[in-house]
Amino acid sequence: MSYLSNNPYSGRWRWDQGRLLYFQFENISACAKILNSLDGLPLNQPDDLLRQPLEKHTGLPFLPHHYKVWRNYARVFQCSMLATQFEKRLVVSDLCKNLASGNPFTPDEYLNFVFSHFQYPYPAFQKYNTSESPVFPFLAIIKLLIARNNSPLSLDDIFSLVIGNNCTGLEEITHYANLHKTSRTPINDELRQVREMLTFMGQASYLRWFDQKLYIDTTDFNAILNATAPFLSPVRQSDPSKEFLRLTSIQHNINSQDFSVILKDRPIPDIQIKEGSKSFTYHQTIERSPLLRKHFFKLHPDFVCDACGLHPEEKYPWLVNTNLLELHHILPLSSTLNSNASTTKLDDLRPLCPNCHRSVHIFYRLKLAEWEIQDFSSKQMALDVYKTAKRTIV
């Protein structure tokens, strides 16, 4: 039975809108650690038992405060495949446990897992129905990108070519190469939801969401397809919570599928260091260009933390010619102000030790929460907050 013909939403694609901050890999990982520690927590108590540990340890603002966290963010945790509710208790997924472990998935491994497992009907949404045929939205988008031979996809392309042609993500690449435009346009808030899906996808090392278009950053397509092979099973649970835990189980295929991607044809950035050419090297989130780091520290060879003054080689004398410092973007890469930027200037960066780097990002979040905003309005605003954090360090 067709998902499209049997669904009252007529093939509408859904995500959790207005929560982009919580779908950044760094924040997903932070939430996973806390949720994992709270596994089994009763969610029907008068007090909000999730708020204090989540806000304290992630630095994220779970607004508004007059609603319980689970009421307002349950779909965030479910779409990011971290947790669900079962018998009025918090139940975390295998994927959540992995991200909270000492050997967690890399950003690419996590994203590829989600791409290959997220499917409609999805148990986080109302009117979940196991009789509907599966649709893998992320895989359909990836296959169309591959079929277009590196031409980017706009939101109009997604609606006209993918959704309008009832693509499921299970078709061969040749099917996507022969798609014709349709008159399908967004319904109500669907435009924003799909846009945020594409922004979420753009965190993968081989994808890039830039100037309202999604690009694929490689021609090593077999590696992508192997890492995102769809999770198919003839048995689906009618109970949404049980189905969620089945979809997010790592054990069923951890030995048969490798979610990592080793790309053979990474483009080489020029001296401007193109941020679109992302690598697997990451600190709190994805550090997109290893050449950026190399070039920066070639010009700044002192290796001193800009915030606390730590000199790694002096404190740890066995680290001869080993640089532990990380590069902090004054304006976070995740900021919407960076969505139209393809390059990073070296004066936008500061060298920080890992502790200061993590702490500065927490300081950023606390300030944004204090001001009840989700993003900086300018690069100068971000710089001022960075300077305040630096001055405040004891």
Least confidently predicted of 62-71, 246-255, 337-346, 354-363: 337-346
Lowest mean pLDDT among 137-146, 291-300, 305-314: 291-300
Q: What is the mean pLDDT of residues 192-221?
A: 88
Rounded mean pLDDT, 161-173: 97
Where residue 338 falls among pLDDT bands split at 50, 70, 90? Answer: low
Q: Is the pLDDT of residue 42 over 70?
A: yes
Q: Is 171 exposed, middle or buried (0-12, 13-18, 19+ CB in 10 A)?
A: middle
Above 50 in pLDDT, residue 9? no
Binning pLDDT at 50, 70 and 90, where does residue 241 land?
very high
What share of the chain in percent tops pLDDT 70? 86
Burial of 42-76, coded b for 16+ CB within 10 Å and e otherwise, reads ebeeeebbbbebbbeebbbbbeeeeebbbeebbbb
Q: Which of 111-120, 199-208, 260-269 has the lowest mean pLDDT?
A: 260-269
Q: Which pLDDT score, from 0 to 100, does residue 336 have? A: 63
pLDDT of 123-151, one tens digit each? Answer: 999 889 988 999 999 999 999 999 998 78
> What mean pLDDT is reported for the chain?
84
**Single pTM value for the model:** 0.69
10 Å CB burial of residue 290 (0-12, 13-18, 19+) is: middle
Measured in degrees and rounded to the nearest 5, phi and psi for residue 107 equal -55, -45
Give me the pLDDT at residue 333, please: 72
DSSP state of 335: S
Task: Provide the pLDDT for residue 290.
Answer: 57
- Give the pLDDT score at 301: 84
Confidence of residue 252 (pLDDT cuts 50, 70, 90): low
Min mean pLDDT across 8-17, 222-231, 363-372 is at: 8-17
Whether residue 258 contacts residue 226, with contact meaning beta carbons closer than 8 Å, is answered with yes
Looking at per-residue pLDDT, the higher value among 336 and 125 belongs to 125
pLDDT at 123: 95
Give yes or no for residue 7 having a pLDDT over 90: no
Q: How far is CA 375 from CA 62, 145, 294, 310, 388, in A?
A: 14, 30, 29, 29, 17
Residue 149 has a pLDDT of: 83
Per-residue pLDDT at 256 exceeds 80: no
Q: For residue 309, what are its two tokens?
A: 């003054």
Residue 218 has which token pair? 């490689």
* Rounded distance between C-alpha atoms, residue 376 and residue 382, angstroms: 6
Whole-angstrom distance, CA of residue 23 vs CA of residue 18: 10
Q: Which residue, among 123, 131, 129, has the nearest Cα to 242 in the 3D structure?
A: 123
Which residues, 6 or more positions from 349, have their beta carbon under 8 angstroms from its beta carbon? Answer: 292, 296, 327, 328, 329, 330
Q: Indicate the residue type of 177.
A: A
pLDDT at residue 382 in the model: 92
pLDDT per position as a tens digit, 78-107: 999 999 999 999 999 999 999 999 889 989
Average pLDDT score over residue span 197-225: 88
